[in-house]
Amino acid sequence: MSIFAAVKRLFKHSAVYGVGHILTRSIVFFLMPLHTNIFPKAEMGVVGLVFAYLAIFTIVYSYGLDTAFFRFYILADNDDSRDRVFTTAFLTIIGTSLLFTAIIFFNADWISARVFGAEVQRLNLNLPLMVRLASGILLFDALSFMPFLILRAEEKSLPFIAFKFLNVTFNFVFNIIFIVKLNYGIEAIFVANLIASFVTFLALLPSGIRRFNFNYSTFTLKELFMFGIPYLPSTLSVALMDTIDRPFLEHLADVEAVGLYSQGSKLGMFMALFVTAYRFAWHPFFLSTLKQENAKEIFSKVFTYVLLACSFVFLFFSAFINEIAHFQINGFSILGKDFWEATKVVPVIFLAYIFYAAYLNFLIGIYLHKKTKYLPWITAGGMVGNVIANITLIPVLGMMGAAWARTVAYVIMSVTLYIVGKRLYPVKYEWGRVLKMVLIAAAFFFITHWAPVSQNALLKFVMVAIYPFVLFFSGFFQKTELLTLKSIVTKNRFRRS
């Protein structure tokens, strides 16, 4: 397969995941005005804290089995082997998830009294109920892990997105019912999430049953554990890096800062959507591409193109994030007026996601040579950097300190993984082109945030629009790429005619 054919295949699935995620996550824009125009910053801060803990415990519930399943399922020689891998992983996840949820559910009072600080305790919210609802969300999300992974492993991107869309649709509908129609309090957010998770699990069951054959194998389980457990510290560290800033903000600033920062992080979804779409498509792509003779050249091009796409997303949404946040729907802004200052963290959150995209690219050698033992150390380094940065920066910069701490962590992780990956599977990345693109993008970012330009939407649009032309005249694009692009455009014109 040629380089551009392989890249086209990757971006085709990334595009499907991306469009699907945009459709599903766009519902957040309807929930943001609902939540931020009704609930105060402090209560939204508690929601941010609970969802931070949910993100962390989601990793604990899977304890690396999801990652191991993905590798062994894709590389299995036949359907019987794939069925055995799924059955073993799925039954194990069911058993442990029920156990974890029971522990959390029956100890909710003890947990809520120790997890939340004094300021949160004084808000007179039903914290134990939130913990119990969160335990149910964790259960049904965990039971959906394996069926979702089958869809990804088999590159069934459209069904995958359809089920995700089902989840957020039910979430949105029940948020409206409980908050607008029934006037429930902040707990309604978690009730809606629980119902959505349960419905999604039921909808995915047929996909799981298709691969379920009661062929439970302790040998397969051992293989899954041996490969997956080393991923637990690393994936847990990644989850902590995206969430631990909320508890730090609660203790080093206040719960209102958590509410603001949580909404700013949500606006970072524009970059998160792109990187997540790429991540979903990237793992099966590079595993299936490794055997090609020109695999390394393909991976090098992919890295350049992914960063190029990230730079477009970064420039456009950084320039217009205030306009987006202030946009009115039926008299309500996307982000409630009390939350408007949260937009200042968005560019830094974008930057963190770009380094995460680079990190994903450098995983190839770890996967190929089964050197997952390195990942805990790499992510531990990022985690230590994150904690130090949070403790150092939050007292000085507030929520901006939390955003920069997240970026620091991903810089440490991506650089360290690149050094390790280079020894395991050396790829000649196009660093000269990448540096040229970074410098041009940085210049455009500062211009669009320069006062005379930042106050004029038309000027900002013009600046973003001419970015690719400046790249072209700088010699960034190679001749073969321009010829390929011309061929694609010509072919599309011929089809339309």
Question: Is residue 198 over pLDDT 90?
Answer: yes
* Range 479-493 average pLDDT: 53
CB atoms within 10 A of CB 138: 22
Predicted pLDDT of residue 411: 95
At 457 the three-state DSSP class reads helix
Q: How far apart are CA 234 and CA 381, in angstroms?
A: 10
Tokens for 282, please give them.
């990237």
Between 402 and 77, residue with greater pLDDT: 402
Q: How far apart are CA 7 and CA 262, in angstroms?
A: 35
Predicted pLDDT of residue 431: 92
pLDDT band at 12 (very low <50, low <70, confident <90, very high): low
**Cα–Cα distances in angstroms (integers) from residue 183 to residues 144, 157, 179, 188, in the given order:** 30, 37, 5, 9
* 417 and 362 Cβ atoms separated by less than 8 Å: yes
Q: How far apart are CA 172 and CA 221, in angstroms?
A: 37
At 328 the three-state DSSP class reads strand
Q: How far apart are CA 228 and CA 222, in angstroms?
A: 10
CB atoms within 10 A of CB 497: 5
* Range 275-288 average pLDDT: 75
Give the rounded percent of residues in the chain with a pLDDT score beyond 90.
Answer: 34
b/e burial code for range 414-445 (CB count within 10 A of at least 16 → b): bbbbbebbeeebebebbeebbeebeebbeebb
Predicted pLDDT of residue 33: 82
Predicted pLDDT of residue 311: 94
* Range 55-81 average pLDDT: 78
- pLDDT, tens digit, 9 for 90 and up, residues 368-384: 776 777 877 888 898 89
Tokens for 179, please give them.
């908050």
> 328-329 and 332-333 as β-strands: parallel, antiparallel, unpaired?
antiparallel
Return the H-helix or E-strand segment holding 333: strand 332-333
Between 137 and 75, residue with greater pLDDT: 137
Token pair 């089902």 in the structure block, residue: 166
User: Of 220, 244, 245, 278, whose CA–CA distance to 68 is shortest?
Assistant: 220
- pLDDT, tens digit, 9 for 90 and up, residues 93-136: 889 999 999 999 999 999 999 888 888 888 888 999 999 999 99
* Range 164-190 average pLDDT: 91
CB atoms within 10 A of CB 165: 16
* 314 and 350 Cβ atoms separated by less than 8 Å: yes
Between 151 and 93, residue with greater pLDDT: 93
Predicted pLDDT of residue 485: 53
* 326 and 335 Cβ atoms separated by less than 8 Å: yes
Question: Is residue 335 over pLDDT 50?
Answer: yes
At 30 the three-state DSSP class reads helix
Question: Is residue 164 over pLDDT 90?
Answer: no
Outline where 398-430 has alpha helix (H): 399-424
Predicted pLDDT of residue 482: 61
pLDDT-wise least confident of 55-64, 112-121, 222-231: 222-231
Tokens for 231, please give them.
């991923």
**Cα–Cα distances in angstroms (integers) from residue 323 to residues 271, 287, 435, in the given order:** 17, 41, 30
Give the rounded percent of residues in the chain with a pLDDT score beyond 70.
Answer: 88
Highest mean pLDDT among 82-86, 135-139, 487-491: 135-139
Q: What is the pTM of this model?
A: 0.74
Predicted pLDDT of residue 21: 56
Q: How far apart are CA 474 and CA 441, in angstroms?
A: 12
Predicted pLDDT of residue 437: 93
Q: How far apart are CA 125 and CA 189, in angstroms?
A: 13
At 329 the three-state DSSP class reads strand
- Quote the mean pLDDT of the chain: 83
Dihedrals phi, psi of 333, to nearest 5 degrees: -75, 155
Predicted pLDDT of residue 488: 41
Between 88 and 152, residue with greater pLDDT: 88
- pLDDT, tens digit, 9 for 90 and up, residues 35-48: 888 898 899 999 98
Handedness of CA 340, 345, 350, 352 (dihedral sign): negative
Tokens for 32, please give them.
């943001």
Question: Is residue 219 over pLDDT 90?
Answer: no
Predicted pLDDT of residue 200: 92
Predicted pLDDT of residue 462: 92
* Range 175-188 average pLDDT: 92
Predicted pLDDT of residue 5: 59
Question: Is residue 20 over pLDDT 70?
Answer: no
- Give DSSP secondary structure letters for 44-94: HHHHHHHHHHHHHHHHHHHTTHHHHHHHHHHT-SSHHHHHHHHHHHHHHHH
- Give DSSP secondary structure letters for 218-255: HHHHHHHHHHHTTHHHHHHHHHHHHHTHHHHHHHHS-H
pLDDT band at 493 (very low <50, low <70, confident <90, very high): very low
Between 156 and 357, residue with greater pLDDT: 357
User: Of 354, 361, 359, 273, whose CA–CA distance to 308 is shortest?
Assistant: 354
Question: Is residue 487 over pLDDT 60?
Answer: no
- pLDDT, tens digit, 9 for 90 and up, residues 403-432: 999 999 999 999 999 998 888 888 898 999
